């Protein structure tokens, strides 16, 4: 093979490799995570719910979009009231065994029949730390998106009327839609 043929072949190979690399760069750029944080609120304990909302407000303050997906016990963080009307016996029992609002939340450790949660709230007040109710409202006011899991609501017998008015209904697809494009995804 002549030198000029080798040069043409090398140039063609380089052009093909360059085109492949450019296509790969475009593909990677399309999949760069956005400045978003997605938080799954699964837990319903006061200390864990506090952590979730503190992280959410911190992310919002840093300019991130925040989406919070409330499922199972985490729904109690955005539950405004409890109703027994229109529920079957098992749904009524579940309602009576779970907190009707954030006020009834216990701690994940050292709860001692609610004394630990009361002590935590008192200590937060003494240290001028926002209470959970104000922190939830602040998170929403700062622009967080609150999504309730419809399947969890159905299983636990929680009606939409028992949740905050500013909740969006969603499912796992809503969560995943946010999570796949987020820089940070947390499960609390």
101 and 144 co-located in one domain:
yes
Query: Where residue 137 sits, what CATH number does that domain have?
Result: 3.40.1260.10
21 and 69 co-located in one domain:
no
Rank 1-5, 22-26, 64-68, 113-117 by mean pLDDT and report only the highest.
64-68
Backbone φ and ψ for 112, nearest 5 degrees, come out as 45, 60
Tally the domains of the chain. 2
Backbone φ and ψ for 79, nearest 5 degrees, come out as -90, 125
26 and 42 co-located in one domain:
no
Backbone φ and ψ for 170, nearest 5 degrees, come out as -160, -175
Q: Residue 106's closest CA among 135, 97, 38?
A: 97
The number of angstroms, rounded, from the C-alpha of 183 to the middle of its chain's C-alpha atoms is 13
3-state SS assignment for residue 104: helix
3 and 91 co-located in one domain:
no
Side-chain-side CA neighbours of 21 within 13 Å: the count stands at 6
Gap between the Cα atoms of 170 and 20, Å rounded: 39
pLDDT digits (tens, 9 = 90+) for 73-130: 999 999 988 888 999 999 899 888 888 788 889 999 998 988 999 999 999 999 999 9
10 and 82 co-located in one domain:
no
104 and 146 co-located in one domain:
yes
10 and 72 co-located in one domain:
no
Gap between the Cα atoms of 60 and 43, Å rounded: 21
β-pair partners for 36? 65
Angle at the Cα of 28 from the Cα atoms of 25 and 34, rounded to 5 degrees: 135
Indicate yes or no: pTM above 0.85.
no
Cα dihedral: 129, 133, 136, 139 (round 10) = -50
19 and 46 co-located in one domain:
no
- Enter the DSSP assignment of 85: T
> Could you list the residue range(s) of the whole structural domain that residue 159 is in?
35-187
39 and 119 co-located in one domain:
yes
79 and 147 co-located in one domain:
yes
**What's the pLDDT score for residue 6?**
57
19 and 61 co-located in one domain:
no
42 and 114 co-located in one domain:
yes
């Amino acid at each position: 093979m002549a030198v000029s043929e080798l040069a043409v072949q090398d140039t063609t190979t380089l052009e093909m490799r360059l085109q492949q690399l450019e296509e790969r760069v475009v593909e990677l750029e399309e999949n760069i995570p956005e400045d978003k944080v997605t938080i799954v609120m699964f837990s319903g304990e006061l200390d864990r719910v506090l952590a979730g909302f503190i992280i959410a407000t911190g992310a919002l303050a840093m300019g991130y979009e925040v989406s919070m997906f409330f499922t199972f016990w985490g729904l109690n963080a955005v539950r405004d009231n409890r109703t027994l009307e229109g529920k079957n016996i098992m749904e009524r029992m579940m309602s009576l065994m779970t907190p009707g609002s954030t006020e009834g939340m216990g701690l994940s450790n050292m709860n001692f029949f609610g004394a630990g949660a009361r002590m935590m709230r008192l200590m937060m007040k003494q240290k001028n730390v926002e209470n959970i109710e104000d922190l939830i409202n602040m998170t929403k006011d700062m622009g967080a998106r609150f999504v309730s899991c419809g399947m969890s609501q159905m299983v636990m017998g929680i009606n939409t009327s028992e949740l905050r008015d500013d909740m969006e209904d969603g499912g796992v697809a809503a969560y995943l839609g946010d999570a796949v494009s987020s820089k940070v995804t947390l499960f609390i």
